[in-house]
Amino acid sequence: MARGKLIVFEGLDRSGKSSQSLRLVEKLEADGHHVLHMRFPDRTTPIGRLIDAYLKGESNQDDHVIHLLFSANRWEASSTIHSHLAANTTVVLDRYFYSGIAYTHAKSLLSSTSSPSPPPSPLTLDWCTSPDVGLPRPDLTLFLDLTLEEAARRGGYGGERYEKREMQERVREVFGRVWMGEGDAGRKAGEFVRVDAGKGMEEVEEEVWMNVRDMWESVEREGKGVGVF
Ligand code: NYM
Ligand code: MG
């Protein structure tokens, strides 16, 4: 029996991931596929509520602790994702572990420019990658890339932690490095496709769809099973 595909949307805040991921779900459903849409962080679980409070600035966490909570929030969904894929339901994710890696590592780049002595664990790219190793591997990751200028034109950011220009700049840089193949994350990235999210909604949607179709055909043709990251 055919299996579902795991499709991930990644990118900066304001890059259109939520809209594009929902549009893709509609399109796949119209094509007769079963689809589950999920987003990370999933703020509805007990771990997700800790993350939500942290993002809203209602609580503080050590950088390592919050990183591991974001990862744990994915691990608690891992068996659900696997069982849907096995039952031929495609899973579309709005953010996944690439966000985890990019945001935490970006934070370390910021703090290392502002504090003279290095912290005990420097939140390296590989340290940030390791808690997610073993999660279901995406068949396709669409990195919706947006310049900071375009994000600003779209009305700037909200008030959550990380939604600041300086941080977004670093996050974009780290996504770019992973996309270029750097570190364990880059080497393991597989189908990591950059989409110019500065284009119009329809154009982006079309590019997403073409990539999804290519991936779909190659997974079916080669009979690829579900992988692990
Ligand atoms: N974020 C998201 C992380 O820092 N680490 C993670 O592992 C994930 C999944 O949470 N600014 C950050 C990125 C966002 C914030 O996401 C909330 P959203 O999609 O804006 O709800
Ligand atoms: Mg956001």
Residue 206, beta-bridge partner list: none
Report the sign of the C-alpha dihedral through residues 137, 135, 119, 59, in that order. positive
Residue 189 pLDDT grade (very low, low, confident, very high; cuts 50, 70, 90):
confident
- In the predicted model, is pLDDT for residue 209 greater than 90? yes
CB 95 within 8 A of CB 74: no
Residue 122 pLDDT grade (very low, low, confident, very high; cuts 50, 70, 90):
confident
pLDDT tens column, 16-38:
999 999 999 999 999 999 999 99
Pocket of ligand 1 (CB under 6 A): 13, 40-41, 55, 70, 95, 99-100, 103, 162
The single-letter DSSP state of residue 124 is: -
- In the predicted model, is pLDDT for residue 114 greater than 60? no
Q: Where are the alpha helices (DSSP H) in 87-197?
A: 97-114, 125-129, 148-153, 165-179, 183-188
CB 55 within 8 A of CB 162: yes
Block residue for tokens 């809209």: 19
Topology annotation, domain 6-222: Rossmann fold (3.40.50)
Residue 89 pLDDT grade (very low, low, confident, very high; cuts 50, 70, 90):
very high
Per-residue model confidence (pLDDT) at position 4: 98
Per-residue model confidence (pLDDT) at position 117: 64
Per-residue model confidence (pLDDT) at position 110: 86
Ligand 1 centre distance from Cα of residue 190 (Å): 22
Count Cα atoms within 13 angstroms, Cβ side, for 126. Answer: 4
